[in-house]
Chains A and B, each alone.
Chain A
């Protein structure tokens, strides 16, 4: 005999089913706490996000944004607190479980399968029968793609797509899986301006359809331009919320607890030429960069602009002795180093800081003291650990790294890893080569890194850096080289450029005018 309670449960179940069919969802976070060892990453966070909202989550690196989003999307479990979806408390066990609840997350580095086709990526993760149902899936994909005016070839391989296209694929996939809440973690990093506009249009459309969007970023401009509401996190706390219209000053103060201003631009260096390139030619299996000539002055900063893969990375590595050159000269303080190994370049005071900090720059598993000892010229056979620790302490203090000598590098946040990398450089350098020195860093770290770099310029180090941030290029460079599919502009005075002009050159427009007269 069914008890009344049983009937009641049955009813609840039907209600739950009805919710499942519902296209919208309100999200509520209540008193969320999370600690990692001694770090309190989320401290009692309360946040209500109604359906159809684009909610910005703003904060500097290490403020606890990612932790909060990982809790909501099932990657990690909160120590304490509740997640309520449409008022019902839920426990989210895993990312797969989250998508069953209708929550999907797009990660900063897309978590997809590059060696597989777009259609395979699309179908993966779909629960279903033995057969994949490709025909139906591709119909659905096309229907959804059309809705957002995305154009991705279903048969192409994911590793041939740009980061922006991979995002688009991931959005379509999550919606197809029934996501009603979409979380975007720093989605505007590494995509082109046009792709950003398409992304924002898609997000607005999704919000109109009643989807709930969480947009995590440390870029004020993006958050201000897109979001309906903004929540600001600082050191694990939710320090404030704001509705439109936003006050930039107010947001910055909430993020950092104090107003920040950007640094001064140095006038163009007029010192001696420290590094001179003539007719430098570099190539790899798909790209040729030919006959680049450049005189770099003492203390000068030269920005290398261009879409990813236009030849600037190849060029930069060639100047550091790390990629194969096919001709020309590289004179560093008068010594021609063409064809010599990286070690020789290093001896002549050329240093290289890679973009992938943990993959190429630092050694995960070793602590800061060990790094500082490694970076020094070894003296004697045995390590003097006491001296190493002192050195580490000193540099950590000098470079404002948030960490101790015994911290392993992977336990530091991105900004602190970058500071540590800078701190590792030996003191006297002729030329410093940097790939995306501030990618993924918040404003405060960016300003700090550049102030340290400018200090080096004062000491006579010249800098060549790659960046995809137009404003960074114009703000910090004295001159800029623009790369477009292997072609290089003559050095252009940064002061004579605007972001629009630079953007056009990066996109391959306005090159004929350049070659017909105006050089630098």
Chain B
């Protein structure tokens, strides 16, 4: 047992080193000094209070999407559609705020209703993917991907059509809301303690849900062998749908927060790739909820830190993506290699 733990650690460390090595080679190839580049990522993420705030702002939606993936994956489902679910959350929140912005209601109530609308929007979009899977036999990967495109198209239609700014519609989105409808942030920053609190709460709930509840255990049974789960009396398709609904609700919440806390309007690409990034985080932590918070934090830091690279070395900020993807790929590869190694042993 002890020996195996060391072997596991060895393979993971090896994957990490290899990922750094390959990204270093890429840096050298494009003519950037590797060490300086890495240092600038670090300072970009943690060099100032402002930067650290930015990391936390990114961390919050990433935690939510990771939490969602953990749920659907436990049920044996690949929810690729989280981008779309996040977008629908953003659309529903925007719609609710537009509906109520002129009403005589306390702003706090409007904000809460907006958040709820986002949650419902995300859940509806996920339920669509789930229904396609359960009743239509459409694999959730294809269903989710298709619905992502529909969500993007819907956003663009709204931004340029019914919800366009007075005058002419533009990619910069809808008319910003009145400041009273913004999610309260720390003075002078865009960091909302509310969104941070909600995301941390969600990941903690998911951790306990999967670890110590009948719901979590039954979800896992459905994911690992739905035939056997059915015979043991677990209503399988209902659990799959529940997993979709929960995941969609988390993604929708993330979308709503993007609107109310950060952009204060609906704009194209509001999901910002957090849906896919959450999938990567979940894969990297091998679906262990305990690790979600630190690894999502690392990814957020990489995202923010690499913004610096663009300014300093004219490297596109998507370099963070290269590093993240390399990490996931090599850790998965390392896991496969480890299994072969242990088996041969």
Q: Which residues of A contact B (CB under 8 A)?
A: 77, 342-343, 346, 352, 354, 359-366, 370, 373-375, 378, 380-383, 385, 424
Task: Find out whether the CB atom of B221 lies under 8 angstroms from the CB atom of A363.
Answer: yes
15 CB-based A-B contacts, threshold 8 Å: A354-B227, A360-B228, A361-B231, A363-B225, A363-B229, A364-B224, A364-B225, A366-B217, A370-B220, A374-B218, A374-B221, A374-B229, A378-B214, A380-B214, A383-B213
Residues on the A chain within 8 Å of B344, using CB: 77
User: B42 on the interface (CB 8 Å rule)?
Assistant: no
Residues on the B chain within 8 Å of A365, using CB: 220, 224
Taking the closest CB of chain A, its distance from the CB of B148, in whole angstroms, is: 30
Task: Find out whether the CB atom of A373 lies under 8 angstroms from the CB atom of B217.
Answer: yes
Task: Find out whether the CB atom of B227 lies under 8 angstroms from the CB atom of A359.
Answer: yes
Residues on the A chain within 8 Å of B234, using CB: 374
Considering residues A342, A346, A366, A374, which has the most beta carbons from chain B within 10 angstroms of its beta carbon? A374
User: B29 on the interface (CB 8 Å rule)?
Assistant: no
User: B149 on the interface (CB 8 Å rule)?
Assistant: no
* Distance, CA A342 to CA B221, complexed state (A): 18
* Distance, CA A342 to CA B230, complexed state (A): 9
Given A343-B235, A374-B232, does the pair A360, B213 have CB atoms closer than 8 Å? Answer: no
**Contact digits for B228-247, partner A, Cβ 8 Å, 1 yes 0 no:** 11111111000000000000
**Contact digits for B169-185, partner A, Cβ 8 Å, 1 yes 0 no:** 00000000000000000
A-B interface contact total, Cβ < 8 Å: 62
Given A354-B231, A366-B221, A424-B232, does the pair A373, B212 have CB atoms closer than 8 Å? Answer: no
Task: Find out whether the CB atom of A375 lies under 8 angstroms from the CB atom of B232.
Answer: yes
Please report which residues of chain B, range 175-230, place their CB below 8 angstroms from some CB of chain A when the two chains form the complex: 212-215, 217-218, 220-221, 224-225, 227-230
Taking the closest CB of chain A, its distance from the CB of B215, in whole angstroms, is: 7
Task: Find out whether the CB atom of B213 lies under 8 angstroms from the CB atom of A381.
Answer: yes
Given A343-B233, A346-B233, A374-B218, does the pair A363, B228 have CB atoms closer than 8 Å? Answer: yes
**Looking across the interface, which residue of chain A has its beta carbon closest to that of B222?**
A363
Residues on the A chain within 8 Å of B215, using CB: 381
**Looking across the interface, which residue of chain B has its beta carbon closest to that of A359?**
B227
* Distance, CA A424 to CA B344, complexed state (A): 34
Given A352-B231, A374-B217, A375-B232, does the pair A359, B225 have CB atoms closer than 8 Å? Answer: yes
Partner of B228, one of A342, A361, A373, A381: A361
Residues on the B chain within 8 Å of A362, using CB: 225, 228
Other than the given A354-B231, A359-B225, A359-B228, 17 more pairs (CB < 8 A) read: A343-B233, A360-B225, A360-B227, A360-B231, A361-B231, A363-B224, A364-B224, A365-B220, A366-B224, A373-B217, A374-B217, A374-B229, A374-B232, A374-B234, A375-B232, A378-B214, A381-B215
* Distance, CA A378 to CA B233, complexed state (A): 11
* Distance, CA A362 to CA B227, complexed state (A): 9
Taking the closest CB of chain A, its distance from the CB of B155, in whole angstroms, is: 38
Residues on the A chain within 8 Å of B227, using CB: 354, 359-360
Partner of A382, one of B213, B224, B232: B213
Residues on the B chain within 8 Å of A385, using CB: 212
* Distance, CA A385 to CA B232, complexed state (A): 19
What 9 pairs between A and B have smallest CB-CB spacing? Answer: A378-B214, A363-B225, A360-B227, A365-B224, A363-B224, A363-B221, A363-B228, A374-B232, A382-B212
Task: Find out whether the CB atom of A366 lies under 8 angstroms from the CB atom of B213.
Answer: no
Taking the closest CB of chain B, its distance from the CB of A426, in whole angstroms, is: 9
Taking the closest CB of chain B, its distance from the CB of A352, in whole angstroms, is: 6
Taking the closest CB of chain A, its distance from the CB of B234, in whole angstroms, is: 7
Taking the closest CB of chain B, its distance from the CB of A220, in whole angstroms, is: 33
* Distance, CA A375 to CA B227, complexed state (A): 14
* Distance, CA A226 to CA B234, complexed state (A): 47
Please report which residues of chain B, range 233-278, place their CB below 8 angstroms from some CB of chain A when the two chains form the complex: 233-235
Residues on the B chain within 8 Å of A354, using CB: 227, 231
Residues on the B chain within 8 Å of A381, using CB: 213-215
Task: Find out whether the CB atom of A383 lies under 8 angstroms from the CB atom of B217.
Answer: yes
**Looking across the interface, which residue of chain A has its beta carbon closest to that of B225?**
A363
Residues on the A chain within 8 Å of B225, using CB: 359-360, 362-364
**Looking across the interface, which residue of chain B has its beta carbon closest to that of A384?**
B212
Taking the closest CB of chain A, its distance from the CB of B5, in whole angstroms, is: 14
Taking the closest CB of chain B, its distance from the CB of A321, in whole angstroms, is: 11
Task: Find out whether the CB atom of A383 lies under 8 angstroms from the CB atom of B228.
Answer: no
* Distance, CA A343 to CA B235, complexed state (A): 8
* Distance, CA A342 to CA B235, complexed state (A): 10
**Looking across the interface, which residue of chain A has its beta carbon closest to that of B228?**
A363
Task: Find out whether the CB atom of B217 lies under 8 angstroms from the CB atom of A370.
Answer: yes
* Distance, CA A364 to CA B229, complexed state (A): 11
* Distance, CA A64 to CA B230, complexed state (A): 34
* Distance, CA A77 to CA B344, complexed state (A): 8
Please report which residues of chain B, range 271-326, place their CB below 8 angstroms from some CB of chain A when the two chains form the complex: none
Residues on the A chain within 8 Å of B213, using CB: 381-383
